[in-house]
Structure 1
Amino acid sequence: MTPAHRRLISTWLFVLCFMLLGMIAIGGVTRLTGSGLSIMDWQPVSGIIPPLTHAEWERLFALYQTIPQYHLQHEGFGLEGFQRIFWAEWTHRFWGRLMGLVLLVPLLWFVVRGMITRALAVRLFAFFVLGALQGAIGWFMVASGFRPNSTAVEPVRLVLHLSAALALYAAILWTAFSIRWPTPVASAPAATRLVRPLARVAVGLLCLTIIAGGFTAGTHAGFLFNTFPLMDGRLIPADYARMTPFWLNWVANRAAVQFDHRLLATLTVLSVGAVLLVGLRARGLGEQARNALLLLGWAVAIQYALGITTLLLVVPVWAGAIHQTFAAVLLGCMLYVLHCLRTPRHSPD
């Protein structure tokens, strides 16, 4: 692969990652506005066309009036109110379809022109398949919101949908990094021996924090204790372990779910601090790796501040969506650091 082809293909993959960030942001708005259940069917192809007549709008609104969310949360808000939440969900689904085209069409062109190897082509086609599967997971999540007496989707399915999106984002981003910078950038690999394990721990903690954040969103735990750092005057909420078996508290007890998210976020910040402390003092990392560490430091500080802001403001839509999206940005910064610290190995040419 020529240097020009590397720049072109990696830029294309970076655009896809940026679109995934947009998808995560739109998904956050959809969730926080209660829009996700407004479209009652899943039509991967024909669903790209929105309602074009008043009769079609009335039909869809009548269909929406049959589910519990309408009667328990939105009863009486009329066709205009339904259209507002419909457009949020339609935009979310349309953006996913658009991403599929942005991935598939250039990929076919690159394959026909012989600009990428077979191994890379197989990997990128796998990303397309995983993206389509993510759409199916999204419908699996939405369908859980049609249960009796339900106004939202099941938290476990929400976490699955978010985790799958972030896994796809991480895989595409890492591939883009490997194409743009096929060889390690650290000038002294020995300097990374201590930093790299610490960075891996930080990535693991961030992933756990994001999962806990998904349960916080899915159970609406962010609306429960809106003070920081204490929760109702206590460091650990009084009813943290009220459910049995104990593990159920981690996914269904709102007090425990929010505490876990706070704790994991704080541990993530501390782990990143350790990465910076060791990494910036190491000799021979190279300018790119050092800049990646500084970028990571700023990103984790911003995300932690966004989390506290979202909590204290009682989860407004704008803050919740930004906080959710910036979690993916922070994950990207961590992956960039890991990529800068990697050891020599074969790149996906």
Structure 2
Amino acid sequence: MAANAISPVAARWIRAWLILLGLLVYATILVGGATRLTDSGLSITEWQPVKGALPPLDEASWLAEFDKYRETTQYKLQNHGMSLAEFQFIYWWEWGHRQLGRFIGLVAVIGLAVFAARRWLGGGLGWKLLGLVALGGLQGAIGWWMVASGMGDTDRVSVAPYRLMTHFSLALLILCVITWLWLSLRGAPRAAAPEGRRTSILLLALVFMQMAAGALVAGLDAGRSYNDWPLMAGELVPSHYIQGDLGIRSLFEGRAATQFNHRVLAYVLWGLSLWAAWRYWGGALARPFAVLAALVSAQALWGILTLLNAAPLTLALVHQGLGVIVTLAAVYLVWRAAAPATPSPVQE
């Protein structure tokens, strides 16, 4: 056995742990999407990583939480007069989202501790998994940074769109890292296909940019505006793409600009994925390129359907969930195309 090699048994357990983490992160992304679409993200006004794990357990506790929420701008300008039952509905969405985050942290830390105790983290794997856990901790802090943008002395009735984009993008990055590590622990060496490497990396970059652009659209509820297609309010390019009161910030805070950018990126990504599937047909990467093109096509068509229906909860969540799958397919494509820098750490 080579020095610092990982046994097949260790690799099998670590890969199972990574699958569990990946599924939990995916679930959290979907619950986070529902939290945003139901305007629930500002219902819990404090960040209490440990104490906040327990929800209100009696009427007095519920009323105390409701009183805190009634001090927010969102309540005063958007939800004034809502009932306790209506508050509980949005509270449970946000609490569930935070609880999933806590559970992910628990699974991550316990798993890492067990693997370290069993000396299964050779070949530099320990540092990689420690970095993964650190990203999870950073995500929790960014989550509160996002929520804080809608608290205090502000005229916002929702979180800042660019902070939502940051929070979502980091969650997506964490899922990509989990996927890459899982693939790298397969044991069997992969046959590199350098002829498609640059195209695969470009596709992954475009997919990630498109997902980040979609987060801006979600943060501004821009998917519920301009619900005609292929034009926007009857125009090819919206005349108020740059809003006078926002200037360059329209790219991040303007509904017309963010939705238009999301559309244009979709067209570019769709066209490039179809071209790549044709270009590399018959080669070593024919199947992953074709799968990615099919997924991008499905996502584009579902996005149009979601837009035409003004982004209802179910359609929008499917759109987000499918977008994550597209991202992971792009990660797999890059992994297949890239020549391994080092031999597999798993003992053959």
TM-score, with structure 2 as normaliser: 0.92
2:13 to 2, 8, 17: 8
Instruction: State which of 113, 119, 129 in structure 2 corresponds to 1:108.
Output: 113
- Separation in 1 of the partners of 2:55 and 2:128? 33
8 A contact 1:28–1:324 mirrored in 2: yes
| Aligned residue in 2 for 1:90 | 95
1:294 match: 290
Asked if structure 2 preserves the Cα contact closer than 8 Å seen for 1:134 and 1:161, the reply is yes
What is the CA deviation profile of residues 243-292 of structure 1, one whole-angstrom value per residue up to 9, with x for unaligned ones? Answer: 4886323112211111100000111111111221122232xx1xxx4433
Partner-residue secondary structure (3-state), 1:240: coil
The residue type paired with residue 294 of structure 2 is: W
Equivalent residue for 1:316, pick from 290, 312, 315: 312
- 1:270 equivalent to 2:271? Answer yes
- Mapped to 2, the partners of 1:232 and 1:22 lie a distance apart of 35
Q: What secondary structure does 2:239 align onto? A: coil
Residue number in structure 2 paired with 1:178: 184
Q: Distance in 1 between matches of 2:294 and 2:16?
A: 24
Which residue of the partner structure matches residue 257 of structure 1? 258
Q: Which runs of 5+ in 2 are unaligned?
A: 1-5
Q: Structure 1 unaligned segments of length 5 or more: list them.
A: none
- SS of 2:154's equivalent? coil
SS in 2 for 1:51: coil
Q: Which residue of 1 aligns with 2:333?
A: 337
Match of 1:38 in 2: 43
Deviates more, 1:77-86 or 1:14-23: 14-23
CA distance in structure 1 between the partners assigned to 2:69 and 2:29 by the alignment: 24
Q: Per the alignment, in what secondary structure is the counterpart of residue 145 of structure 1?
A: coil
User: Which structure carries more helix by proportion?
Assistant: 1
Counterpart position of 1:152: 158
Contact 1:130-1:168 at 8 Å conserved across structures: yes
Taking structure 1 as the reference length, the TM-score comes to 0.92
CA distance in 2, matches of 1:58, 1:347: 59
Aligned 8 A contact 1:219 1:254 in 2 = yes
Q: Distance in 2 between matches of 1:333 and 1:243?
A: 40
- Is the aligned partner of 1:56 residue 2:61? yes
- 1:221 equivalent in structure 2: 222
Relative to structure 1, the CA distance from residue 107 to residue 29 in structure 2 (aligned partners, 3 Å threshold; closer, same or farther) is same
Aligned equivalent of 2:72, options 46, 67, 70: 67
Look up the equivalent residue of 1:170 and give its one-letter code. C
Q: Is the 8 A contact 1:119 1:348 kept in 2?
A: no
The residue correspondences of 1:93-242 to structure 2 (distance < 5 A) are 93-117=98-122, 119-146=124-151, 147-181=153-187, 183-184=189-190, 186=191, 189=192, 192-242=193-243
Q: CA RMSD in A?
A: 1.8
